[in-house]
Amino acid sequence: MFVEGREDNMANLLSATDETFEELVLKSDRPVLVDFTAAWCGPCKAMAPAVEDVAREYEGEASVYLVDIDASQATSQAHKVMGVPTFMIFNKGVPVQRFTGSVSRSKLAAALEAVVEGDK
């Protein structure tokens, strides 16, 4: 999988930045899970395997992107990210789900599944 500017701890996931967020997330024709994260965030690192697993499970049906809140401050501020990790699910450019803090892999997958199934 192509990797753009990611830390080794989440090397299997793609990144969206201030410059690419609109194209990759807001203009996507399929559901998108965005993980707002930071390199210094312990809970973010702990969530990485679950996020990677969800990305693999929904490959082809949904996209999963990481947004580094320090590197992409405009995007983080635009979406009112006040803590990390923050997870947002977008459908056709509209945020439809939001979770802040550590959540279970099953909760992330179920929320994304509901949007994927509703989009069919």
Among the listed residues 39, 41, 109, 114, the single catalytic one is 41
What residues contact residue 69 under an 8 Å CB cut-off, 6+ apart? 36, 37, 38, 76, 81, 84
Specify the DSSP element, H or E, that contains 97: strand 94-100
> Which is nearest to 55 in space by CA: 44, 47, 63, 45?
63
Do 1 and 12 touch, CB atoms closer than 8 A?
A: yes
Query: Please, what is the Cα angle at 34 between 43 and 49, to 5 degrees?
Result: 45
> Is residue 85 annotated as a catalytic residue, yes or no?
no
Q: How far apart are CA 115 and CA 95, in angstroms?
A: 11
Active site residues: 41, 44
